Amino acid sequence: MHIWDAEVRVRYGETDKMGIVYYANYFNWFEIGRTEFFRSLGMSYRDLEEKDVMLPVIEAHCKYFSSASYDDMIIIRTRLEFVTGTRIKFLYEIIRKDDGKLLAQGHTEHPFTDSTRKPINLKKVLPEVYQMLLECVQ
């Protein structure tokens, strides 16, 4: 199983009037998590898109346990729950680096499509990428 930790620092504009990070911004972090997950495998999500493979989101979920504050260093821990020829599901943990506290936990699910958003089968289109992702699950 492959797990990847990316790091971001909380931006001022990501906070809201409660003084903590606005809940929608966690989904931006999830996206950084999967981008860096791909990079950790030696490929970039940008390259995938240039090969006409897209991962639009069909489901997104987040549970919030504690809040992140301005200037906190945040760890985005990403791994795969599964990958098939047509779908992929990422799991995320949002952790405050200072004290290791788990702030949130979530997932996103994505079909593989081309740039016209027609479903494709990754196993056929990019078998070596599919294989690499499959090995990340086990």
Site residues (vs a second copy, CB under 8 A):
9, 11-13, 15-20, 22-25, 27-28, 31-32, 35, 44-46, 54, 56-65, 67, 70-71, 108, 117
Beta bridge partners of 108: 60, 90
Q: Determine the number of helices (DSSP H) and then strands (DSSP E) in the chain.
A: 4, 5
114 is catalytic: no
Asked whether the beta carbons of 57 and 108 are under 8 A apart, the reply is yes
* Residue among 22 and 135 whose Cβ is closer to a second copy: 22
* Residue among 68 and 133 whose Cβ is closer to a second copy: 68
Which H or E run includes 76?
Answer: strand 73-83
User: Which structure tokens are listed for 85?
Assistant: 């020829």
CB of 76 to a second copy, least distance (A): 12
* Residue among 3 and 24 whose Cβ is closer to a second copy: 24
CB of 8 to a second copy, least distance (A): 9
Alpha-carbon gap, residue 14 to 38, rounded angstroms? 25
Residues serving a catalytic function are 16
